[in-house]
Amino acid sequence: TDAIRPLIAGNWKMNGLKAQAAEFDAMLNGAADVAGKADLLVCPPATLVAAFADKARGKKVAVGAQDCHPKASGAHTGDIAAEMLADAGATAIIVGHSERRADHGESDALIRQKAEAAWRAGAVAVVCIGETQGQRDAGQTLDILRGQLDGSLPEGSTAANLVVAYEPVWAIGTGLTPTAKDVEEIHGFIRELLTIRFKAEGAKMRILYGGSVKPSNAAELMAVKNVNGALVGGASLKAADFLAIAKGC
Ligand code: PEP
């Protein structure tokens, strides 16, 4: 798996106005320096996808989205179809982020449909999984992850159309991170399940770590076996931090 090219993905969450475009410009300007190390993906709020994708054309940063509706169109007020995001220039769509699982009660079955919607629109699905603090304390981490992987990943997942992001919920936005040993054990477990189900494709699929990744801890986390990049929240809002994380790969 050492040959898997890392992906550093930024999740801006519900942050970003047109005025913050300068930060994205700085990422585009710095991207060539890190292109030898990792692929870069920035997922701004949906309102900025088109503008960012236009700016990023021909540059070494891909633009993605944070969620999509399973259907291609229809009577779903306020929702956004994967086709619309792809039309705006998104080439990847995050699905099943823990904030959506928690805030919107998203089930594994719905997340699987959203991943299939991303594919239907020609985009890569970045599927998030992760245990809560309570589940971890109860010793349920591996069972939870197994259930989320079984339920959220569609049949037909490949290394080209799907990225798994392991994000322990207790590490998101808290400054807490698992130890390198814990990350190695969990990513190894995820790799084993992916390989059992998706064979050679599962062996090549990217498994990102997410949860309080920052420039000071990125290199240690990215060096762990079966960690093929990062999904970065808070630190992806600053170009300097985001690029420093990618340089640490
Ligand atoms: C995230 O929510 O995807 C995330 C990893 O957030 P943070 O980096 O801010 O912990």
ipTM: 0.96
Q: Is the CB of 167 under 6 A from ligand 1?
A: yes
172-225 tens-digit pLDDT: 999 999 999 999 999 999 999 999 999 999 999 999 999 999 999 999 999 999
Report the pLDDT value the prediction gives residue 216, as an integer from 0 to 100. Answer: 97
Nearest residue by C-alpha to atom 7 in ligand 1: 233
Nearest residue by C-alpha to atom 2 in ligand 1: 233
pTM: 0.98
Report the pLDDT value the prediction gives residue 19, as an integer from 0 to 100. Answer: 87
| Centre of ligand 1 from the C-alpha of residue 229, in Å | 13
User: Which residues are known to be catalytic?
Assistant: 97, 167
* CATH for the 7-247 domain, from 3.40.50.12280, 3.20.20.70, 3.60.15.10, 3.40.50.1000: 3.20.20.70
SS3 of the chain: CCCCCCEEEEECCCCCCHHHHHHHHHHHHHHHHHCCCCEEEEECCHHHHHHHHHHHCCCCCEEEECCCECCCCCCCCCCCEHHHHHHHCCCEEEECCHHHHHHCCCCHHHHHHHHHHHHHCCCEEEEEECCCHHHHHCCCHHHHHHHHHHHHCCCCCCCCCEEEEECCHHHCCCCCCCCHHHHHHHHHHHHHHHHHHHHHHHHHCEEEEECCCCHHHHHHHHCCCCCCEEEECHHHCCHHHHHHHHHCC
Q: Is the CB of 96 under 6 A from ligand 1?
A: no
33-62 tens-digit pLDDT: 998 899 999 999 999 999 999 999 999 999
Q: Is the CB of 212 under 6 A from ligand 1?
A: yes
Q: Is the CB of 210 under 6 A from ligand 1?
A: yes
pLDDT above 60 for 2: no
